[in-house]
Amino acid sequence: MNSKHDVLIIGGGPIGLSCAYYLLKAGRKVTILDANEIGKGSGSGNAGHIVPSHIIPLAAPGVVTSALKWMLNPAHSPFGLKIRADLKYISWLIQFAAACNEANVARALEPMKNLGQLSADNFAQMIAEEKFDCHYQTTGFLNLYKNQAAFEEGKHEADFMQKYGIPVSVYERNQIADVEPAVRDDVLGGVHFTGDAHLNPAIFLGLLGKHVRAMGAQVYEHTAVTGFASAGGKVRVVKTGTGEFEAQQVILAAGAWSPIVARDLRLKIPVQPARGYSLTASAIQNMPRQALILGDRRVAVSPFGNLLRVTGRLEVGEYSATPNPRWIARLEEFAREYIRLDEKLDIKETWAGLRPVTPDGMPIIGRSPHHSNLTVATGHAMLGLSLGPGTGQVVAELVNGRETAIDLTPFGMERF
Ligand SMILES: Cc1cc2nc3c(=O)[nH]c(=O)nc-3n(C[C@H](O)[C@H](O)[C@H](O)COP(=O)(O)OP(=O)(O)OC[C@H]3O[C@@H](n4cnc5c(N)ncnc54)[C@H](O)[C@@H]3O)c2cc1C
């Protein structure tokens, strides 16, 4: 097969599907290639948080110290590190450690706020316009604390965020049960980011995938991209195991696999996987009202109607997406520490996924410096769902030669 296409998207995760949606809306013809099935990769089992409040990148002061401290207590650590003798990986770790400073955070705040807010607005509009029934709740995102020092830090961060225009409320011990009746009595308080939301990502991605097909997208599943042929400053051919594709425009949105897919394109895409897990159970007696983060444990709890999902753990450098039963059991244990969950859990699904992480914690969104028809959209780390519709809109604008809704310079791959 050597067929000609208009816009060819590699990867049908939250980023690829969002790009497809906005391109189709703008009148382009879209083809999606996915190594597996669209909407089933690293996005479906995630926590479903839509968090415009998350403007501080993963690479921030104190992260390396916390990671080292956690590694001394591996049985309870929210963080893990794969040892791999691979030069690109080692160089990524060094770059990440070097970026954990105030200057990196200061550089990221404005662009992350702009992209996060655009994306949150786009979610609200898309879900209303397309009537997606995906348990979308605008009830905010509540950080809970059982440790006074961590709570004080949380309050400090809340002050900072408020000054930055992020809506946030702080609740002390005597107020927290009114806001979230599911909490245990020893929870000291919480910080509530009231502008955030959550949804069931598997349902949302399923509906979005169905919708882009109905809008005319051609979808090739089980079609892994194996390489490219480039000439004259353009990608000429996209090679797969089942044939070759030619397209006017190509978008690389293959999440944690993007650098592997792009290996013969001479591009700097320093993305590493960070594996995380989730368990999904039937609704419990005391269902939380909103999406929660269990402060000291860094575990997320999300209510999706008749389901409860618990997610957590960040294992840098790990490519296998197989759930580890030991960590699934820990997630349940941590959830029981914070919420009034006393009954046996009826677990329906366990899952692992890979977050695509850059060394400075910001996504890569922009044109290839070497190919006039290639756009890269990856590296969204823990925010690939949250930043999906914003990324989709700006990628569509870029591909169509329009002015982008936000300045994409800070997201360009030239920064590496
Ligand atoms: C435990 C956990 C919880 C999370 N919680 C949240 C959350 O609450 N909110 C949030 O915003 N984000 C969350 N994330 C992060 C989010 O899931 C990722 O950032 C997001 O999935 C990245 O989207 P993507 O489209 O870039 O990549 P993916 O979702 O990984 O999609 C990439 C696609 O590319 C395909 N692909 C790979 N190789 C090839 C190839 N060679 N050829 C063709 N196709 C290929 C894959 O099959 C896949 O479908 C979480 C992640 C984890 C692990």
**Closest atom of ligand 1 relative to the 49 alpha carbon:** 8
Q: Which residue has the higher pLDDT, 351 or 1?
A: 351
Q: For residue 346, is it within any domain?
A: no
- Whether residue 3 is predicted with pLDDT greater than 70 in this model: the reply is no
CA–CA distances in Å: residue 106 to residues 112, 166, 168, 178: 10, 16, 20, 35
**Exposed / middle / buried, residue 262 (Cβ in 10 Å: 0-12, 13-18, 19+):** buried
Helix 388-399 to helix 102-129 angle (10° resolution) is: 90
Q: How far is the CA of 13 from the centre of ligand 1 (A)?
A: 5
Q: Strand 189-193 vs strand 168-172: parallel, antiparallel, or unpaired?
A: antiparallel
**CATH number, domain at 401?**
3.50.50.60
State the CB neighbour count (10 A cutoff) for residue 368. Answer: 22
Going by CA atoms, what residue is nearest to atom 44 of ligand 1?
34
pLDDT in tens, 35-78: 999 999 899 999 999 999 999 998 988 888 887 777 777 777 88
Q: For residue 176, is it within any domain?
A: no
Q: Cβ(382) to ligand 1 under 6 A? A: yes
Q: For residue 406, is it within any domain?
A: yes
Average pLDDT, whole number, for the chain? 95
- Say what the pLDDT of residue 64 is: 82
Candidates 9, 40, 46: which one to mutate for ligand 1, based on the most atoms within 8 Å of Cβ? 46
Mean pLDDT confidence for 207-231? 98
pLDDT in tens, 389-402: 999 999 999 999 99
Structure-token pair, residue 198: 């959550």
Q: For residue 409, is it within any domain?
A: yes
Candidates 313, 355, 362, 411: which one to mutate for ligand 1, based on the most atoms within 8 Å of Cβ? 355
Q: For residue 349, is it within any domain?
A: no
Q: For residue 209, is it within any domain?
A: yes
Going by CA atoms, what residue is nearest to atom 20 of ligand 1?
384
Q: How far is the CA of 183 from the centre of ligand 1 (A)?
A: 30
- Say what the pLDDT of residue 71 is: 76
Going by CA atoms, what residue is nearest to atom 24 of ligand 1?
255
Q: How far is the CA of 11 from the centre of ligand 1 (A)?
A: 9
State the CB neighbour count (10 A cutoff) for residue 14. Answer: 30
Residue 188: CB partners within 8 Å, gap ≥ 6? 145, 146, 147, 148, 151, 172, 173, 176
- Say what the pLDDT of residue 2 is: 53
With a pLDDT cut of 90, the percent of the chain lying above it is 91
Q: State the DSSP H helix or E strand holding residue 131, giving kind and residue range, or none if neither.
A: none
- Nearest alpha carbon to residue 209 among 43, 386, 20: 20
Mean pLDDT confidence for 187-199? 97
Q: Which domain holds residue 392?
A: 2-44+203-270+361-415
What's the one-letter identity of residue 68? L
Q: For residue 40, is it within any domain?
A: yes
Q: Cβ(366) to ligand 1 under 6 A? A: no
The whole model's pTM is what? Answer: 0.97
Residue with tokens 């910001």: 362
Q: Cβ(355) to ligand 1 under 6 A? A: yes
Number of residues that make up the chain: 416
pLDDT in tens, 73-92: 777 788 888 888 888 999 99
Q: How far is the CA of 189 from the centre of ligand 1 (A)?
A: 32
- Say what the pLDDT of residue 177 is: 96
Alpha-carbon span 257 to 355, nearest angstrom: 10
Q: Cβ(13) to ligand 1 under 6 A? A: yes
pLDDT in tens, 336-365: 999 999 999 999 999 999 999 999 999 999
Q: Cβ(311) to ligand 1 under 6 A? A: yes
| 25-30 LR contacts (CB < 8 Å, sep 24+) | 25/215, 25/396, 26/396, 26/400, 28/396, 28/399, 28/400, 29/5, 29/216, 30/6, 30/212, 30/216, 30/217, 30/218
Mean pLDDT confidence for 211-227? 98
pLDDT in tens, 97-148: 999 999 999 999 999 999 999 999 999 999 999 999 999 999 999 999 999 9
What's the one-letter identity of residue 110? E
Give me the half-sphere count of Cα atoms (radius 13 Å) on the Cβ side of residue 249. 22
Going by CA atoms, what residue is nearest to atom 15 of ligand 1?
382
Mean pLDDT confidence for 391-414? 98
Q: How many domains does the chain have?
A: 1
- Whether residue 1 is predicted with pLDDT greater than 70 in this model: the reply is no
Q: For residue 228, is it within any domain?
A: yes
Alpha-carbon span 166 to 142, nearest angstrom: 14
CB distance 394 to 408 below 8 Å: yes
Q: How far is the CA of 237 from the centre of ligand 1 (A)?
A: 25
pLDDT in tens, 304-324: 999 999 999 999 998 999 999
